[in-house]
Amino acid sequence: MAEPKKIIIDTDPGIDDAMAIFVALQSPEVDVMGLTTIYGNVYTTLATRNALHLLEIAGRTDIPVAEGSHVTITKGTKLRIADFVHGADGLGNQNFPPPAGKPIEQSAAAFLIEQAKLYPGEVTVVGLGPLTNIALAIELDPEFSKNIGQIVLLGGAFAVNGNVNPAAEANIFGDPEAADIVFTSGVDILAVGINVTHQVVLTDANREKLAQSNGKFAQYLCKILEVYFSYHCDAYNTKGVYLHDPTALLAAVNPSLITYTEGVVRVQTSGITRGLTLFYNKQKR
Ligand SMILES: O=c1[nH]cnc2c1ncn2[C@@H]1O[C@H](CO)[C@@H](O)[C@H]1O
């Protein structure tokens, strides 16, 4: 087999983030170099705590966690936190004990910059939350865009309605200015929007099967999924949940699972369509 792909997961755990992190840790195709944290599903401090906790659950405390930004790229502090989707603790209101581990001293952006410099062209960042940390890395280090191999991100609603409002998907809405910096950076980006992830559903029957499994993460995931299922039932009237973050993670593990359209993206940063992802298909001449 080819050498595993080096990935750093930028994450706001988050129930579907937890699933994605476990998928990554179970995939020999990728080598998880670190987790960087961001606000979104929870505030950044809690995201760091949850990232450390998930690595302890997985028995992978060898993987470093670098804490990310507490504010948007424009220093905004009025964050939209999706605790109504993931529970107050971000992990299905399970009251897990605090993790023993601590984040590293480096900030998320500094860690991203360092790893990209250490392995030029080899590191893939998988962005599962608002794109503040990645935009900060781009702004802080003019070489970062060249050094980073690829960015795979869960974000955007391409030619469909958003999930925050008709225009915007949650991760892009969380920091539209940062998202526009990322999309215009010239980095090779693979964006998985909710136009894709709304086609990837974990059904009630799937969860039943998971409950029967004695796989390493099955029981844990069944527990935390309870709250995620009840949110989807309330919001979408479905007995199933969207696998947003796991789908994006799988796109990094095995890009051939999904088909893509090539083009460029800009993000609307003002007005009622703030957070809208506008896609221009490169095929048009
Ligand atoms: O309605 C919603 N509002 C805010 N966040 C949401 C909603 N639905 C899902 N997510 C969360 O945002 C990302 C996908 O956009 C996922 O992390 C998902 O868990």
ipTM: 0.93
pLDDT at 166: 98
- Class of residue 8 by CB neighbours under 10 A (exposed 0-12, middle 13-18, buried 19+): buried
Among 38, 41, 163, say which to mutate for ligand 1: greatest number of ligand atoms within 8 Å of CB: 163
Which residue has a Cα nearest atom 19 of ligand 1?
16
Q: How confident is the model at residue 21 (pLDDT cuts 50, 70, 90)?
A: very high
- The average pLDDT across 79-87 equals 96
- The average pLDDT across 212-232 equals 95
Q: How far, in Å, from the CA of 242 to the mean position of ligand 1?
A: 9
Q: How far, in Å, from the CA of 285 to the mean position of ligand 1?
A: 35
Q: How confident is the model at residue 236 (pLDDT cuts 50, 70, 90)?
A: very high
Which residue has a Cα nearest atom 12 of ligand 1?
170
Position 136 pLDDT exceeds 90: yes
Give the rounded percent of residues in the chain with a pLDDT score beyond 90.
96
* CA-163 nearest atom, ligand 1: 1
* CA-155 nearest atom, ligand 1: 15
Q: Is the pTM of this model over 0.95?
A: yes
pLDDT at 58: 98
Residue with tokens 């809405």: 173
Q: pLDDT for 162-201, tens place per residue?
A: 999 999 999 999 999 999 999 999 999 999 999 999 999 9
Among 12, 38, 85, 225, say which to mutate for ligand 1: greatest number of ligand atoms within 8 Å of CB: 85
Q: How far, in Å, from the CA of 121 to the mean position of ligand 1?
A: 30
| Of the candidates 8, 6, 270, the residue with the CA atom closest to the CA atom of residue 137 | 8
Q: How far, in Å, from the CA of 170 to the mean position of ligand 1?
A: 5
Q: How far, in Å, from the CA of 200 to the mean position of ligand 1?
A: 14
Antiparallel, parallel or unpaired: β 189-192 and 201-203: unpaired
Pocket of ligand 1 (CB under 6 A): 14, 16, 41, 82, 85, 163-164, 169-171, 194, 235, 244-245
Which residue has a Cα nearest atom 6 of ligand 1?
170
Q: How far, in Å, from the CA of 137 to the mean position of ligand 1?
A: 24
Q: How confident is the model at residue 281 (pLDDT cuts 50, 70, 90)?
A: confident
| Of the candidates 262, 225, 256, 261, the residue with the CA atom closest to the CA atom of residue 243 | 225
pLDDT at 7: 98
Position 285 pLDDT exceeds 80: no
User: Which residues are catalytic, by number?
Assistant: 12, 244
* CA-12 nearest atom, ligand 1: 17
Among 172, 201, 244, say which to mutate for ligand 1: greatest number of ligand atoms within 8 Å of CB: 244
For 51, 169, 191, the CA distances from 165, given in Å and listed in that order, are: 28, 7, 19
Give the chain's mean pLDDT.
Answer: 96
- The average pLDDT across 256-262 equals 93
Position 284 pLDDT exceeds 70: no
Which residue has a Cα nearest atom 11 of ligand 1?
170
| Of the candidates 259, 264, 72, the residue with the CA atom closest to the CA atom of residue 172 | 72
| Of the candidates 145, 121, 123, 120, the residue with the CA atom closest to the CA atom of residue 134 | 145
pLDDT at 118: 98
